[in-house]
Structure 1
Amino acid sequence: MSNDGARRTRRPTTADTDADGRWLTDVAAGASRDAGNVPVALLGDYLPLLADAAITGRKPKRTELDAVEALGRKAAEQGISAGRVVQLYLSAARRLWQELPDVVRSRDREAVRAAAAAVLQVIDDAVATLAEGYAVARRDLVRHEETLRRELIDDLLRGDSDLGGLVERAEPFGLDLARVHQVALAAPSRRLPDTDTAITALEAAIFDRLGDRDVLVATKDGLLVVLAPADTTSPHGTPAGHDTNDNLGRLMHDQLRRLPRGRPWRIAVGRPHPGLYGIARSYEEAREALTMASRLRVPTPVVNARDLLIYRVLLRDQPAIVELVHAVLHPLTRARGGAEPLVATLQAYFDTGGVATETAKHIHVSVRAVTYRLERIHTLTGYDPTDPAHRFTLQAAVLGARALDWPDQPLPATG
């Protein structure tokens, strides 16, 4: 034996590998370390496939590649990143090539080139199949998570599910149901756009600005739903307090209006309430706020339930408010053009503090037209909008009319 041969560490021969696969075990362990201690089991029979390709030129069978695909799915299910799994396979191939038996390393140049080509083909097929299995599993996991998210948000907003079960189901999403939460709803002008894009955009913006991951974004009944803690601090570290509603609503609108579809958006934010049933209560308030904002023709894109509490008070005694609207405003239906222009004039007049010039600007008519309409209202109803003694009655009736969506909809029956 030459001196060079004596100094060179002897690599296993083919017979050695048949008798003892320890060298492949060492290669696998080294590849695992290279990839950040990814489990060796995810290699499966990949290393014997590479060795066979190098020694015999054998290509992997379909069943062997199917096994690699299954390992890719398993890696995704274990939460291991795709980059680390691919690194495991590439590092294993590099180490195996360095440790190939002498029977391969001692061949002539053409034989070595053929062995390398066979090994590269196996690497290419295996990594592509691994990535495909990983991607399929990730898509399945995302769909499953979306289903769980949708079911969780449905049960939270309904508020009548098992508390213990909900707490357990909310934990993977980072929700602490012991905190005070509020619900905000976003309604697109038309059909809900790409939900994945909208949800991702809202989550990223809320996490970044409010500094809290106890947030859930989902869809329900064609609306985007955001469940967020009400005790979140502002980006400057000061308590959000009373302005939390405004912050959340404005943040959502600012993000959604950048999307290519869905504009103009209407955002409604429910009041904060504690506990599981508080979430359902905040959701109902947000839904009512959306409905009222539409009926009242509120010009601002963000509305808060607390600002519309007067309408909830009015509607608690619906027969009384129906009677008030009928008694005070129903005579306006005798006017040319119906009651709506006159009711709109009254609403604008009260909203602008009883200033005729501002009312005219608000409803885009002349001051003379406003004056005429106010006089016509006095004549038909007997109530003078300019008289402080009559103003409260007229304003309460207008609020009730808008809450009932009158005159667009007939007054509900009270009998």
Structure 2
Amino acid sequence: MIQTLLWLLAILFVALVVYLLSYYRFRRMILQQTKQMIALMKSEDVDNMQIGSIYAHTSDDFSDLERAALYLRRKYLRLRNQFHEERKGYETVFSGLKEGIVTVDQNLKIISFNESFMDFFNWVPDKAQPNTYLQDVVREPLVIATFKKTFEDSNIHKTEVDPVQLFVTPLPSRNENERWSLGVFYDMSEIKKTEKIRIDFVANASHEMRTPLTVIKGYSELMKQKIEQGDLNGPEILDLLNPVLQSADQMSDLMNRLLNLSRVEVNAPLAKSLLPTEQITEEVLQDIEGLVSLKHKNIVVKCEAPEVFANPESCKQILSNLLTNAVKYSGDANDISVTWIKAPQSVLLKVKDNGPGIVKEHQSRVFERFYRVDKGRSRDQGGYGLGLAFVKHHMLNHGGNVRLISENNMGSEFICEFPNP
């Protein structure tokens, strides 16, 4: 009886040992394959992985599990890569926009933005402070109120805080607790500047034409009255017609200048070649010789650069306009210098006078059409305020530029840069 019991215990002990060994082996296999499954789900290279690389020599159920895991991982990676590519594309577009773009949530926490938005408000994000709110960046209450109003009624709203125009648009969301709005900031400075130039141009052009028209109308009415009264003889007709003809010539001259300027502003390509600077300068001096003598000016020419790559007629007009202005408006100063200088990648034309100069407040606008520093003196000299506008656009057509260096009572120097071929 005791021997039988001992045999039973021995058999139970052996069975227990076999069970424990089998359990340990099976557990180790499961843990190892689980770790491999986790590694698979984290792997970035699953395209070349084959079914059975993890659950080799196992049942079809485990192979199906591995197949499903590989499928999910591959799909996840494709979707993630697609998302990153699309996001990169959006970020590239956003970063290239000159408009400021910002996205905020319903608490006005900034979610995304582009570089233009940073530039608009001189803001540099603090990486140590991940949660930044719109009111921390934009100090204008009207802007904050516009965003809040969009969240309240889910409509597009517009406001303007000079010189910025803002449009706020609600973004679609499936979750009522996660609502976003997109703000687009437009810099209206250039548009308003252009509009002001247009208004000034219309006003100045109208003013310039009003004077000769008034003269023509006045003398025409006077001639009509005298003809009706039969009190008009030959000499009187000539006396009355001369101002009419002069005013008509003045209007015709203004119209021709405006038409020429409009042609130059088209920025059409120019036929350019290497021109001798000394010859160009001599031809221009001959054209304005009468004005130079009348104003008793002394023009000193230095051609340190023997040639310039330019269009002949355009180059002559540039130099002629600069010299004419210097002769007319340099006051009592007699000396004017014309200097051609060879630079590393260009040729510089410098026209300098020792006149009264141009104060800082006028320097940024002297190249605008009809702009005059001293309106009364310009009209006395017969100018329209178009000469420097011609110079600016002629230089742009050459691919170059013109700039002004001047101080009050220290004279003015205009520098034109002609690029080398």
Per the normalisation by structure 2, the TM-score is 0.30
Structure with the greater alpha carbon radius of gyration: 2
Q: Of the two structures, which has the highest relative contact order with CA contacts closer than 8 Å and spacing of 6 or more?
A: 1
The structure with the greater share of residues assigned to strand is 2
The structure with the greater share of residues assigned to helix is 1
